Structure 1
Amino acid sequence: MAEEKPFEERTEQATPRKREKAREKGEVPRSREITSIIPMWSVLLYLFFGGAVLHSLMNYVRNGLQRSAELSITESSIVEVFKADSIQFGMLMLPLFAVILIVTISVHFLQTGFLLSAAPLSPQFSRVNPLAGIKRYFSLNMVVEALKGLFKITVLGTVLYLILKEQMFKMPLLVDMSIQSVQAFSFHQIYRLFLISAVVLTIFAVADFAYQRWYFGRNLKMTRQEIKDEHKEVEGSPLVKARIRSLQREMARKRMMQEVPKADVVITNPTHFAVCLKYDLQGMGAPKVIAKGQNLVAEKIKEVARKSGVPQFEDKPLARSLFRLEIGEEIPEVFYKAVAAILANVYKLKGKGVHL
């Protein structure tokens, strides 16, 4: 594997081709922070919009507390209570899990789009290389991740401490409250803590997503030489393209030479141009150019024509004019008279007639 170039040398933005190749490998900018806050926001939205659910959850807790005081503890009673509570709790939590699943999938698509790649699952021996592991451990990204985690815990802990400190003086008052009031107060404070924590973590998640996009783009940057190499890979090097064009011309020339024996006549310059004409009275409206050449190619056409017994007529102006036509093109009407005279001589020799 080629050695990775230093960031200082990679000054050019990644090309669309490199971005597409990275995407095929499953390499896209994504933030784990955004994924981590999904369950928290799902719970908050679930409780905020589901008043009936919150009421059922409070009843579930209250009934559990009441039953625990009244229940005679036996093996069968514990099993029955466990079954009933499990079913009730599952029914309460099922919509929440559905919300978490839907939101998780939605956020994933918002971050990466539709992406299916088996490349991350393939074995990569660099991952088990101790030296590579040490490099990753002390990389810029790992340092940033560590500082980011420390900063997040510090800020979140400070915010929660200030909120709890504000509510501490209310704690002694709970002793004189009813169970319903204690429940309402507790749920309100928990919901408030969840909401503030979610807001703080969302700010971190948005900042982290912006950082991940920047870091991903930075890693994809290319050197000028890499861009040139990619261009050569896509378009082909000038030498290769020239060689391909040369081979294509050679193949076209060979195919053209195979048509020379089928010509009725070759009109020459006589040294610089040679144009082969064919005329089929039944299938053509006018004589057609089936081969042509200049200089060395013209000499080759005349040589093949001699070996094949194709008549050659010298007419410098006509040969030069017909050479401008494309292979497969019928001659214009302006040349009918001159070509007809030549073909008349050819067909006279062959015992045919010509009508243009």
Structure 2
Amino acid sequence: MAETSDQDSKTEEPTEKKVRDALEQGNIPVSREAPIFASMAALMVILTFLIGRGVQQITLTLKGLLDDPDGFPLGAPADALNLLTVVGLEALRFLTPLLVIFAVFGLAAQLLQNAPNLVLQRIMPDLSRISPLNGWKRLFGTQGLVEFAKSMFKLASVSAVVAFVLRSSEAKAFEAMYTDPVALPEMILSIAMRIVSAICIATIVLVAIDLAWARFHWRRELRMTKQEIKDEHKQAEGDPLIKARLRSLARDRSRQRMIASAARATLVIANPTHFAIALRYKREENAAPLVVAKGMDVIALKIREVAEQNRIPVIENKALARALYEAVQVDQVIPAEFFRPVAEIIYFLQSKQAPRPEKVQ
């Protein structure tokens, strides 16, 4: 019940990361019917192009052995070994193309479904695979019932196809009783080809259904809960609380550096307690005053405090301080429209040479 409810809670489609992780771990949609169809197709190719010629060749070899038994003396163990070698090589020449075709079709059935991917984790020992309880669940679970239904469909389809082909060949079977025995292999081969081709056609339908079911079941098993999607998003983007905390720390460090930079200023323009802009002007450094710090409220008070500690003139000009705060950026020179009012303040300070902060109305 708990497992069913957990599966029911997985209502969201899998994310790209979930699908990618499943593929990397070797969890891929696979049709078990595709290799069976590939085997039947390989058998059809063999019956059509190879079996007749191969049987004819091996028949000639055996006929030569039976017609001329004296040609292979068996007086010593070496003679028996030579005879077995000849027969074995002939059988190997007959079986090798068959095995190669079966292997090629089997590999093609797997490669056409999914790209090859070496996953060592899939071949590692796993005790759950030999657990009787898990085996019982696999047998009587949804997947087990689907496999049972497919097996029954295959049995019914193959039985119906074989019965239909044999019934249609019933007349030929009776005629074979009165024909030359030499023609029997060709007739049997013809009937076998009809049976295999009919089974291939029936298996194609099953393979198409099984491919669709395998991919549907695979994506259904990969479904996620809403909480899993949220957790994955947090892992990919970072926890919002942690990111907010990191941004806050970064802003604090930036403010501290900026406030410390206020000690390099040559004057501070302030709106008594709300705004403060620390400017540095040295003719040999910059063509225009450089903004080294700016702040509002608490930061403005900190900038004024640093200025007073370093005996930097603080000029109170409400309109100019507010306008500068809105227009300037730290580590940049002031815009051209502020050159004249700031230049007047600098000229005033240089002419007065005041060691203490002055207030200009």
Evaluate the alpha carbon distance shift between residue 261 and residue 82 of structure 1 in structure 2; reply closer, same or farther with a 3 A threshold: farther
Q: What root-mean-square deviation, in Å, do the aligned CA atoms of Structure 1 and Structure 2 show?
A: 3.2
Which whole-Å deviations, capped at 9, do the CAs of 1:72-116 have from their partners, x for residues lacking one? 274666644543454455456555555555544444343223534
Q: Which has the higher contact order (CA 8 A, sep 6+)?
A: 1
CA distance in structure 1 between the aligned counterparts of 2:60 and 2:349, rounded to whole angstroms: 115
Structure 1 match to 2:32: 32
1:62 is the counterpart of 2:59: yes
What is the aligned-residue identity percentage? 30
Structure 2 spans left out of the alignment, 5+ residues: 355-361
Structure-2 residue corresponding to 1:354: none
**Which region of structure 1 is more displaced relative to structure 2, 122-131 or 220-229?**
122-131
User: How is 1:127-142 mapped onto 2 (pairs within 5 angstroms)?
Assistant: 127-142=129-144
Residue 319 (structure 2) aligned to one of 293, 317, 320: 317
Show the counterpart of 2:358. Answer: none
Q: Deviations over 1:229-248 (max 9, x none)?
A: 33333334443332222122
SS at match of 1:7: helix
CA contact (8 A) 2:11 2:225 kept: yes
Q: Is the 8 A contact 2:266 2:280 kept in 1?
A: yes
Match of 2:196 in 1: 194
Q: 1:278 and 1:124 mapped to 2: Cα distance?
A: 71
Q: 1:303-353 deviations in whole A, cap 9, x for unaligned?
A: 223333433222222221221222223211111112223334556649xxx
Q: Pick from 297, 302, 305: which aligns with 2:304? A: 302
| Displacement of 1:285 | 4.2
How far apart are the structure 2 equivalents of 1:251 and 1:46? 77
After TM superposition, give the deviation of residue 168 of structure 1 in Å: 3.7
- Give the aligned residue type for 1:8: D
Q: 2:231 is aligned with what amino acid?
A: D
Counterpart in the other structure of 2:265: 263
Match of 2:23 in 1: 23
Secondary structure of 1:30 counterpart: coil
Decide which of 116, 120, 123 is 2:122's aligned counterpart.
Answer: 120
The 5 Å alignment of 1:131-170 reads 131-170=133-172
Q: What is the TM-score normalised by the length of structure 1?
A: 0.82
Match of 2:8 in 1: 8
Matched-pair contact (CA < 8 Å) for 2:289–2:333: yes
Distance 1:122 1:266 in 2: 71
Cα-to-partner distance string for 1:149-168 (whole Å, 9 max, x where unaligned): 12211221221122123324
Shift in alpha-carbon separation, 1:134–1:210, aligned structure 2, 3 A: same
Which of 198, 208, 211 is the aligned partner of 1:209? 211
Any conservation in 2 of the 1:127–1:133 contact (CA below 8 Å)? yes
Distance across 1 between alignment mates of 2:310 and 2:92: 93
Q: State the match for 1:327 in structure 2.
A: 330
CA contact 1:289–1:326 (8 Å) conserved in 2: yes
Instruction: Tell me the distance in 2 between the aligned counterparts of 1:78 and 1:172.
Output: 43
Instruction: String of CA shifts for 1:223-263, please: whole Å, max 9, x gaps.
Output: 33333333333334443332222122112222323322222
Residues 115-141 of structure 1, C-alpha deviations (whole Å, 9 max, x = no match)? 343332344444354433433332111
Matched-pair contact (CA < 8 Å) for 2:47–2:189: no
* Structure 1 residues 165-193: Cα deviation after superposition (integer angstroms, max 9, x where no partner): 33244235445555663333232222222
Counterparts of 2:95 and 2:264 in 1: how far apart (Å)? 86
Contact 1:24/1:119 (<8 A) preserved: no
d(CA) in 1 for partners of 2:344 and 2:317? 12
1:58/1:183 contact within 8 Å kept? no
8 Å contact from structure 1 (residues 264, 346) kept in 2: no
Query: Comparing 234-243 with 266-275, which one deviates more in the overlay?
Result: 234-243
TM-score w.r.t. the length of structure 2 is 0.81
What CA distance in whole angstroms lies between the structure 2 residues aligned with 1:252 and 1:146? 68
Partner Cα distance (1:106, 1:299) in 2: 76
Secondary structure in 2 aligned to 1:291?
strand
**What corresponds to 1:253 in structure 2?**
255
Aligned length: 347
- Aligned counterpart, 2:110: 108
Q: Which residue type is aligned with residue 113 of structure 1?
A: A
Letter paired with 2:40: M
Q: Distance in 2 between matches of 1:114 and 1:318?
A: 70
Structure whose CA Rg is larger: 2
